[in-house]
Amino acid sequence: MAELAVDKHVKYILAVEKNKDSFESVVMDHLRMNGAYWGLTALDLLGKLDSVNVDEVISWILKCQHESGGFSGNIGHDPHILYTLSAVQVLALFNKLDVLDIDKSIVSSCTSCFAQVSKLDITGLQNEDGSFSGDMWGEVDTRFSYIAICCLSILCCLEKINVEKAVSYILSCKNLDGGFGCTPGGESHAGQTLALTGSLHYVDKDLLGWWLCERQVKSGGLNGRPEKLPDVCYSWWVLSSLIMIDRVHWIDKEKLVKFILDCQDVENGGISDRPDDAVDVYHTYFGVAGLSLLNYPGLKAIDPAYALPVDVVNRIFFSG
């Protein structure tokens, strides 16, 4: 079995940020905040976070914050809950959450998205049925529920939303196969929200575990839905869910490790979705994160619920 090309991956991640004229950099311009989270967290898991200039990163993140409190994917773009979580996660990586005026900008006392359409404070994006919109335009998705809950939990402000309604909405998206859709009646797709609210007791762990372990295909990789090709990113989404419901032993972990390692570009660095495809920072992060969940030697441990290194999560919740 191949080994993880740590130095090559570090070099690749750093090059993605520096070469702003590259194709990958140009097409990711609008979601650079997500890219920063993927790249920086991967560096931390690889033990190389000290390779970046912290002050430059923090300065850029704050320039992406809007008056509403939410963050955009890059300077000059619109704010969205997706980018807001990434910004908070990166600040957490560097132990810089104190740069945020949490009560004033990220969180408000309003709990109706429709009463707060001019803002992107997270609590203001919760709808009456407990779901969350991604921004002022109102798109609803259970992934936005995860993002909102994760972000507020990191900021120790989970009490600012109606958690009971949020959980109820997520449960309304449960399907007969044990999986959860993005909206009620939607096709089951891998995800993980209930753990952050202490609500895993609502889940049929055997049924959900069966659906999740069925995502492993012959190559060892995991897909996100039946009849789909395997993708390295599901080495995170599916695996983290299996770990949280204590059913990870239902898959062949060794074959999954081999699949991830086979997706590496061992010459230039980076990890792709499948072997021999083009690499990108998104799959590089989720490949490294998946290997971390699989206890691959030399990698820092990652928390399966918060998608942050365990030492970062412990610092947030237990340092005080």
DSSP secondary structure letter of residue 300: P
pLDDT tens-place values along the chain, 320 residues long: 789 999 999 999 999 888 777 767 777 788 899 999 999 999 999 999 999 999 999 999 999 998 878 899 999 999 888 999 999 999 999 999 999 877 655 565 333 333 333 334 788 889 999 999 888 787 888 888 999 999 999 998 889 899 999 999 999 988 888 888 888 888 887 654 456 677 888 889 999 999 999 999 999 999 988 999 999 999 999 999 999 999 999 999 999 999 999 999 999 999 999 999 999 999 999 999 999 999 999 999 999 999 999 999 999 999 76
| 135, 118 contact by CB (below 8 A) | no
pTM over 0.75: yes
Taking the domains of the chain in order of start, what are their residue ranges? 6-318
Give 66: exposed, middle or buried? Use CB within 10 Å, 0-12, 13-18, 19+: middle
176: CB partners within 8 A, 6+ apart: none
Orientation angle between helical segments 81-93 and 54-63, nearest 10 degrees = 160
CA atoms within 13 A on the CB side of 13: 30
Q: What is the fold, at CATH topology level, of the domain defined by 6-318?
A: Glycosyltransferase (1.50.10)
The continuous run of DSSP H or E covering 271 comes out as strand 271-272
